[in-house]
Every structure is written in C-alpha cells, then in structure tokens.
Chain A
C-alpha cells in the first residue's frame, strides 16, 4: 500500500512545529513514532497535506522526577524507555505495567508516550483499507453516513484503544499541551472527548508535549489488566487500571479505577473512588466496584470480542486488580 502524497516537515524547534501546525490547521498531521499513523496513512484514513515529524525535537523526550513537583514525562519519550525506567517501575508501577503491554517490543521501541495518548480511535468497520471501506460504502466516521456498530444512531462509537492513558488516569495525571499561546496543563480526563469522531481536545496549532503525575502518587501501588487474545502485539479489547493507597489495617485512603478500549475515551470510574474510600475489602464491595466499572465502560461491537464477554472481563479484571492491591498492601 502506498502512502498518500504529503509534504514532510521536520521542525528543529518546538516553536517551528507549532508555527507549522498553526499554518496548516486540520490539514497538518503530527507523526511521532509512527506506529499508528503510518498504517493509518497507508489505509488512507487520512489525507494530510503536511506531516510534521517531531523526532528532531529531542527536548520533548525525557523522564524527570522531584518529590516536590512529581513526575514529568516528555511526549517523545519512547514506550520502551518508560517501561525500562527504574524510576517509573519503582514509583509508578501502574504506568510501567500498562506501558509494558502496549503492542510488541518493536512498536514500543518506536512508539512514544505522546503518540500513545493521541491514538486514533479504533473500530473494525473503520481500520480497514480504502478498498475494504469502499466496498462497504464507508461508515459514519469516514466516507459514509451509517454507523455499523449502532446503525440507528448518529454517534461514532469507535473505541479509544490505548493502554497508557487508563494508567495515567488512575495516577490523576495532567497533560501538558503547547500551542501558539505557550504551554497549558489540564486533567488528562478532560483531554478526551468521548466522541469517536474527534477523540481529543486540541485547538489549532496545539500539540501534546508532556504528562505530569502529582507528587502524592509517587510510590502508589497500582496495576493494569488488559484483555487481549495474544500476549503481545494486540490492542486492548478491554483494559482496567487501578491504583490504591490503603493503611496498615487495609482501610482504603484513596483509590482510582480507569477503564479503556470499551468507550470512545479512556474513562475514570468516578463512583469507584467514592465507594472505596474509607472501606475495607469485602465481596460485596468488590461487586459494587465491578458494577461501577461496567456502568462506565460500555463495550459495543467495535472489536473482535463480543460486548458481553468484554463486560464480564471488565468486572473480573476490576475485582482481580483490587484484590491484588489489597493483598499486596497487607503483605
């Protein structure tokens, strides 16, 4: 498959990148590691006039931590670098655990955190070649007007299918965005629109430059469970990230649960945090949290596995993650 025709820009400085993005608006597309963008371009899911390669911007790569300001990871940091960072592994295990499940080793060597947070939403009716989509007559997201997942509606259910974002939501992270007006930060949850058509909230000329995790999360226990067919390569069919801080008696002080790959956005399960705070583990509580997870996570027929099964696994993985964290906490 050929690539569509575009001009490749390789800005040497961040300001240049922003200027190019401002100039071309929606006709510009950013490429970081390229593991999502290149196959999508080959499938002609996009036809950008300009592709902006961020690889020359070395200042966007790096992992920093101070007890006062917390963790900062630059957008161009590779997934392998995060997974192998002893700092991330020891202080933010949920992130290392999630990043380690992304695709396979080759993709993690190329793929970046920023790219992973900006993945295009995925759907079995959408991530197909131009020939395949033409034969179908397109879908609501592209070249057509029917959603094949929910034909009656006018909403795109393409699933947000990343692994790093739920972990970062569970770490209460903020995303740093740089644009013509400089850098700004917002809660990661606000970055995602939960609309399969336009998944992230970036204004003209803006790009993701870093992720910040607050200092209180350093050392926070956490785990990520991913549903997939293969133990490598596959995108998640469902994902659950949980972090928890509990006292010596097993009373939960703070917990956060986030789900992925079952909605057009990675979502924090808000009730879970409320339900867990101040409580000890019990079968009833686990059941409540599991139900909260599936009232937030609503899988549809966007991927190979059935919604029924993915819902079941969302519940199970939530319960397993909680049990694991409580058990480890006691030990």
Chain B
C-alpha cells in the first residue's frame, strides 16, 4: 500500500499551520478596510414578547452613527432548510428568546455603536414563555410560531420490521429514560462578518462560515440583490464544529447595515453573543427500549426522542431525523421503531454540532447495551461482536453500508486497552468501559433538493507548471485545504508545493455545499481526484502528440514523465507542461461529485436524512477512576479506534480523533448550558467549562482502514464519528468502577455521589430486609 502512493497515507502538516502558529494568518476579525464601521446588535431582554414599537430616532441622531436598521429593513424570512424559513435577521413582530435580534447599528467606533444601542427604545408586551420542551409540546395556545401548533417544529414516526415481535423474542428487555443537557461548540473564534459595500454597488462579504454558498444564496434573498452582485469569501476559520454551518444573524445584519450605510461594516460577536447564536446540541430526552436474546442478539429497538430545539427551526428536523436514522447502520437490528419530536421553546436555536443528531441517542443506546450485556452475563465487547452487520448491506431503514471496519475497531481498541486483563479485575474505584459509534461521510441528499453535483473542483496549470486548484470547500481547521493539495499532487505525480489553492470565494470557485456532515473529504476529495485525473489526461495527450506516441504509453510520476517500460525519464514536469501547452492551449480541468442513486435512501417521509455514500466506524475503551467520596471522575485513558476508510493524511486523522474524543469528554463530564427561566446562566468560557488540558487524558488513536470502494483513495470521514463513542465509554467505565449507572449528562460529581449514596441506602435496606424478615423481602 505504501509503495503504491507517493503522498497518500503519509503524514503532511496542514498547509495553513504555519500562518496560524505565527499569528500571520487572517481570520475575519483581523481584516480591516478603509472607512470601516463597527456594527452592534440589540438583543431582546425578554424570552417571549410582542414588539409593539421600535424607535431608533435617538440612536440614529447620535454623532458617529451611520446606519440603524430594524426588521423592516430586511423583512424576508430565511433559514437553512427550505421547510424552515422562520427567522428574520431582526425581528419585527416578536422576540422569541433572551438574546433574539431586534435592531442593529453601524457607527464609527465600538463605543458609539454600543451607546447607540442604549438609545433605541423598544416597547415590548411580554408573553408567557415556554422553557421545557415536555411542557411546550402540550401548549394549547400562545405558540412561539403561529404556524407550528403545539410548538412542535416536526415529528417523525418510523417503524421498520415489527418491534412487538422483536421484544417477544428477547429474554432481556430494558426500558429506561436518558437525559442529555445542552452543549455548544465553543469554537475559539467567535463569529465575525465584514460586509463591504463596493463602489460598483456590489457587496463583498468576508465571513466565518462553514457554508459560504448558502450564505451567498441567503444574502441574495434577504438583501434582495442578485447573487452575481454579492461575493462571499471565507478567510481562515477558528473552528466551526457546526456552529457556523447555517446562516448566523450577524452575517445578514452586517450586510444589511453595509447596504444601508454604503460603507464597510464589521460585526464580531462577543462570546456571550456566540452563546445566543448557538445552534448547538439540544437538550434531549430519550426513552429507550432494547431487547436482547440470551445469546446476546439484539431483537428490537424502540426510541422516543424529544429535543428542545429553541426558538427557531434551524437544522432541527435534520437533527431529529439523524437521531432516528442512525439507530441503524452500526449493528444488525431487525426491528426499529422511532418517534422523534423537535419542539420549540423560548431559548436560542439549536442546530448542528459535531456528530449531528447521533450523539445523545448513541449515549443512551450504548449505555443500555452495556446494561443488557450485564443482565445477560455477556461481556460488553462480545455483545457487540454478536450484533455486527454483514456488510456490504442495506439496513432495515434503507441505509447502504459499503465498507465496515467496526469489527476491527472493536478488536484493536480492546486489545490495545488490555480489556481482557482489566475488565472486572480492576480495584473498586477504577473501571473500564467500551462503546461504539459511527457517522455519515456526507449526506447523500443535499439540503435544497436538486440534481446539481454536490461539489465541483477546477484545476488550472500555468506556464510555469504551477498548479492552481479552485475549490469551494470550506477549510475550517479540519484539513480540507491540505487534502486538496495532497490528492492533486498524488494524481499528477508532482511535489505538493507546486499546488496552490483558491478556496471558498464565490466569485472564483465553483459550488461546494459546505463543511457539514463530514462531507468534504469524501465529496470534494472525489471531485478533486476527478479534476486531477482529467488534467493528467490532458497533459499526457499533449505530450503524446509532442513525442508522437499514444497517451496510454506515458506515465507521470515523481515530477518526471516516462514512457512506460523505460527506466530513464523523457522529460521533467516543467517540460511536460510546456509540451502540453503547445498542443492543448491553456490547461483547465474540472471534476464533480454526486452521490450514487443507490446511496440516497428510502422513499418514506424523512428518508432523506441518514443516507450517506459511506459510514465511518469507531470503537473506544475508556478507563476511569472515581473518587467515591467526592463523586469526581477522572478519565485515565481513552483508546479510540476509528475506521476512516483510508487515512489520506494520518496526521490530520489523528488530530480529528483526538479532537472528537476531547469534545465527547467535555459533554460526558462537565459541559452544560445552564438555564433559569430561559436565561442562560453561563454564557462565558469561564463558566461553560470545556475541559482544560489537565482533564484531558492520554488518547491513543488507532486508525483502521477498511478502504471504501467509493471513497477518494478509499477514504471516509474522520472528523465527527469518534465523538459519540466517548461519552458512553466513559459512562460504562464508571459503572465498572463503582457500580452506578448515570443516565444523565453531564455526569457531574454531584450526580455520581448522589447515585453512590442511593446505592448504599438500597444495599443497606436490602441487607436489613434480608436479616429482618428471614429473607422473604428479597425479590
């Protein structure tokens, strides 16, 4: 394998790493232009209130203020999903959460802009608000959106096979409720947008976005300007994790202000505003029922999921569909029933976050599987071995699995963690647990249904034999740029430093749908390979004419052109390009990617979400210690095996696995958005506690390569799939350590201690019962 490729499978530092570590790289907030104004947004202090009147006169009259805008300046509603156009950039009728956007100003300084906000008068009529989704979905009146009865954004009811029959075949059935608190991305870079009104009436928008082309489209819609008049550029991004994967209010507000002021306007969120823009992982209630036979075979799964979506649709229906769809495609489960509810409440909108939709349900499922294995007296690793898919296959819910490295992930992770030596053999207070997860390598169906390829990549080769790749794919820190360089150089047989990129600039690069659902390597990667292969053909065809032979007789590798069968090169790459240019003129190539029909899923309502051209797999083992007096959990180590098809760049794959494990660790033990009547109590990175390096354990990443038949050089996703396994692996390890199961995230010391005290009480009561009434009380 190693000999076959020059660059594939070899670690390559990220192309933008140097600019980032030296501080020279430009993020949106680093960019300033002459005449630039500072924009600020006025937020609602009420969770739910009618807006009676907005008076901006005093703010507009303040010296230094160049524009004040309200919902009336841009009334057109928008949203990332065609079914969810329910947001105005600035609300003109109703405020729906504390932090909702009401008005915006652009001024010559931040101080003036902030002062101007305080001069805007808003008359609110406060309405009763909904904070708990379980209550909100029962509301008979006073709904958050008139068009959404009972505050239910969407509900889906799927039933594959027959779960009643399935449960009847099971010897062990568990039914339990799980809870996951709300978490957010906490990307280092707060959102920032610079909108520049150009002298020719065009607008250039630099923005911290994962989806430049959706932003392009939305700005055109809301600003009522043709797309040709708007240019969106994505500079360096300081982390996305889903928080920049839909249109964020400041992006539109900056554009609307710039259009009105006819000046450049920059808005950068404060950290608190990032929490209000949010779009993170929702509070999730999971009622789960799983049946297992004596032999350890899963017979049926029934899940009822209620998600607290916040005040707007966002990606909500997709999240709740993923939660159901991805019960499939990991184990062989013949009967699955899913009832999913996405509920509106008066809180910031939730959305996509790393592991979109799968994470909370995967926690519940893997924790319950551990408990069922215990009930059945089967090792938790064995129970997973006994429920593997027979891939390639199509699951009961219509998901096509092409490559399946889960068995090897399980073997390697448990072997490296010393599972057999440790399971059940560690002293009290120390424990080991395992869990699995999976994720899509891009969604097989686009957000806006069409038959346009999901991505297009163009390549141009110049007279000096330098190669420029034009890609719309958004580098957000995941390694998209480096991947394009690597693939192009590999296919063309040249040094990577010949390859330059033009990235995510809607004036220059062809459409790519964006960096979400782990789609870039699979989709843009395949398009890039197609473009590079096309370029290679053009070069070889030109050289063949020059040499008077057939293109099929030629080979291009290691910067040299060979006639096959000859050991000495005929010319170097520069000479080859010169020859090709002579016969071909300018060298321009194009490649596209579109998922095959067979990957696009079933035909039922909601079948569009979940299908992917390929799935990644992960198995993890966590070792923890628990202080039984404080309830504090220390994660000692995590071994994470991830099947990414092929590791194009092992360096970045390992980085992605570690990053996923780290985020999973945060959600497992300490991260949570804390609410009091719709008020976020911890909108700071001081009180919203992402783990510090001191809580982060040794992470051993093991790369498993199942070589996907359709992936670029066999690659699949690596950026998200590992996250979901971390949480249940830790939860299961806690059970192994101290014998309590915590079904509620995050697993705080308080919860562990309370569970330990409860357990002790139960055991004491049982002991007294036994001795007190001759054992008759024991059941």
Chain A interfacial positions (CB closer than 8 Å to B): 1-2, 5, 104, 124, 128-129, 131-132, 134-136, 229-235, 304-306, 309, 312-313, 316
Given contacts A230-B691, A305-B750, A306-B750, 7 further A-B pairs with CB under 8 A are A104-B692, A131-B272, A134-B45, A135-B46, A135-B679, A230-B695, A235-B686
Contact A135–B45 (Cβ < 8 Å): yes
Contact A304–B674 (Cβ < 8 Å): yes
CB distance from B199 to the nearest CB of A (A): 31
* Residues A309 and B683 in contact in the complex (CB < 8 Å), given A2-B110, A229-B689, A304-B674: no
Contact B683–A5 (Cβ < 8 Å): no
CB contacts (< 8 Å) of A316 on chain B: these are 629-630
A124 touches which one: B114, B687, B695 (CB < 8 A)? B687
Instruction: Find the residue from A104, A232, A309 having the highest chain B CB count within 10 A.
Output: A309
* Residues A229 and B630 in contact in the complex (CB < 8 Å), given A124-B681, A234-B689, A309-B750: no
> How big is the B interface, by class?
20 to 34
**CA of A231 to CA of B632 in the docked complex: distance in angstroms?**
11
Query: Is B697 an interface position by the 8 A CB rule?
Result: no
- B110 nearest in chain A by CB position: A2
Contact A233–B692 (Cβ < 8 Å): yes
- B627 nearest in chain A by CB position: A316
> What are 24 of the A-B contact pairs (CB < 8 Å)?
A1-B270, A2-B110, A2-B114, A5-B111, A104-B692, A124-B681, A124-B687, A129-B272, A129-B683, A131-B43, A131-B45, A132-B683, A134-B45, A230-B670, A231-B694, A232-B692, A232-B694, A233-B689, A234-B689, A304-B674, A304-B681, A304-B687, A305-B750, A312-B753
Task: Please encode chain B, from 674 to 709, with 1 for each CB lying within 8 Å of some chain A CB and 0 for all others.
Answer: 100001011100110101111100000000000000
Task: Please encode chain B, from 451 to 465, with 1 for each CB lying within 8 Å of some chain A CB and 0 for all others.
Answer: 000000000000000
CB distance from B290 to the nearest CB of A (A): 32
Query: Is B602 an interface position by the 8 A CB rule?
Result: no
CB contacts (< 8 Å) of A235 on chain B: these are 686
**CA of A232 to CA of B689 in the docked complex: distance in angstroms?**
10
B689 touches which one: A136, A230, A312 (CB < 8 A)? A230
* Residues A135 and B630 in contact in the complex (CB < 8 Å), given A2-B110, A230-B670: no
Contact A309–B749 (Cβ < 8 Å): yes
Query: Is B98 an interface position by the 8 A CB rule?
Result: yes
Contact B753–A309 (Cβ < 8 Å): yes
Chain B interfacial positions (CB closer than 8 Å to A): 43, 45-46, 98, 110-111, 114, 270, 272, 629-630, 670, 674, 679, 681-683, 686-687, 689, 691-695, 748-750, 753
**CA of A230 to CA of B683 in the docked complex: distance in angstroms?**
17
**CA of A151 to CA of B774 in the docked complex: distance in angstroms?**
52
Contact B674–A132 (Cβ < 8 Å): no
CB distance from A261 to the nearest CB of B (A): 14
**CA of A124 to CA of B310 in the docked complex: distance in angstroms?**
23
CB contacts (< 8 Å) of B670 on chain A: these are 229-230
- B757 nearest in chain A by CB position: A312
Contact B692–A231 (Cβ < 8 Å): yes
- A44 nearest in chain B by CB position: B114
Contact A135–B692 (Cβ < 8 Å): no
CB contacts (< 8 Å) of B110 on chain A: these are 2
CB contacts (< 8 Å) of B694 on chain A: these are 230-232
- A309 nearest in chain B by CB position: B750
Contact B272–A230 (Cβ < 8 Å): no
CB contacts (< 8 Å) of A135 on chain B: these are 45-46, 98, 679
CB distance from B672 to the nearest CB of A (A): 9
CB contacts (< 8 Å) of A128 on chain B: these are 683
**CA of A136 to CA of B45 in the docked complex: distance in angstroms?**
8
CB contacts (< 8 Å) of B683 on chain A: these are 128-129, 132
**CA of A305 to CA of B674 in the docked complex: distance in angstroms?**
11
CB contacts (< 8 Å) of A132 on chain B: these are 272, 679, 683
A-B contact count (CB 8 A): 59
CB contacts (< 8 Å) of B679 on chain A: these are 132, 135-136
Contact A2–B45 (Cβ < 8 Å): no
CB distance from B281 to the nearest CB of A (A): 19
**CA of A131 to CA of B118 in the docked complex: distance in angstroms?**
10
A231 touches which one: B270, B630, B674, B695 (CB < 8 A)? B695
CB distance from B136 to the nearest CB of A (A): 21
**CA of A309 to CA of B46 in the docked complex: distance in angstroms?**
32
CB contacts (< 8 Å) of B753 on chain A: these are 309, 312
- B109 nearest in chain A by CB position: A2
CB distance from B99 to the nearest CB of A (A): 8
CB contacts (< 8 Å) of B630 on chain A: these are 313, 316
CB contacts (< 8 Å) of B692 on chain A: these are 104, 230-233
- B678 nearest in chain A by CB position: A135
**CA of A234 to CA of B748 in the docked complex: distance in angstroms?**
15
CB distance from B43 to the nearest CB of A (A): 6
Instruction: Find the residue from A1, A129, A229, A313 having the highest chain B CB count within 10 A.
Output: A229
CB contacts (< 8 Å) of A134 on chain B: these are 45
CB contacts (< 8 Å) of A312 on chain B: these are 753
**CA of A316 to CA of B749 in the docked complex: distance in angstroms?**
14
- A306 nearest in chain B by CB position: B750
CB contacts (< 8 Å) of A1 on chain B: these are 270
- B677 nearest in chain A by CB position: A136
CB contacts (< 8 Å) of B682 on chain A: these are 124, 304
- B45 nearest in chain A by CB position: A135
CB contacts (< 8 Å) of B45 on chain A: these are 131, 134-135
**CA of A2 to CA of B753 in the docked complex: distance in angstroms?**
42
- A133 nearest in chain B by CB position: B45
In order of increasing CB-CB distance, the 3 nearest A-B pairs are A135-B45, A231-B694, A232-B692
**CA of A124 to CA of B683 in the docked complex: distance in angstroms?**
11
**CA of A312 to CA of B629 in the docked complex: distance in angstroms?**
9
- B42 nearest in chain A by CB position: A131
CB distance from A90 to the nearest CB of B (A): 25
**CA of A35 to CA of B46 in the docked complex: distance in angstroms?**
31
Contact B111–A2 (Cβ < 8 Å): yes
**CA of A309 to CA of B748 in the docked complex: distance in angstroms?**
11
**CA of A136 to CA of B683 in the docked complex: distance in angstroms?**
14
CB distance from A197 to the nearest CB of B (A): 21
- A235 nearest in chain B by CB position: B686
CB distance from A272 to the nearest CB of B (A): 20
Contact A233–B686 (Cβ < 8 Å): yes
CB distance from A40 to the nearest CB of B (A): 12
CB contacts (< 8 Å) of B686 on chain A: these are 233-235
CB distance from A106 to the nearest CB of B (A): 12
CB contacts (< 8 Å) of A232 on chain B: these are 692-694
**CA of A312 to CA of B691 in the docked complex: distance in angstroms?**
24
CB contacts (< 8 Å) of B674 on chain A: these are 304
CB contacts (< 8 Å) of B693 on chain A: these are 232
CB distance from A233 to the nearest CB of B (A): 6
CB distance from B208 to the nearest CB of A (A): 18
CB distance from A255 to the nearest CB of B (A): 22
**CA of A306 to CA of B749 in the docked complex: distance in angstroms?**
11
CB contacts (< 8 Å) of B750 on chain A: these are 305-306, 309
**CA of A140 to CA of B357 in the docked complex: distance in angstroms?**
42
CB distance from B630 to the nearest CB of A (A): 6
CB contacts (< 8 Å) of A305 on chain B: these are 750
**CA of A124 to CA of B676 in the docked complex: distance in angstroms?**
11
**CA of A134 to CA of B42 in the docked complex: distance in angstroms?**
12
CB distance from B360 to the nearest CB of A (A): 21
**CA of A278 to CA of B648 in the docked complex: distance in angstroms?**
70
CB contacts (< 8 Å) of A129 on chain B: these are 270, 272, 683
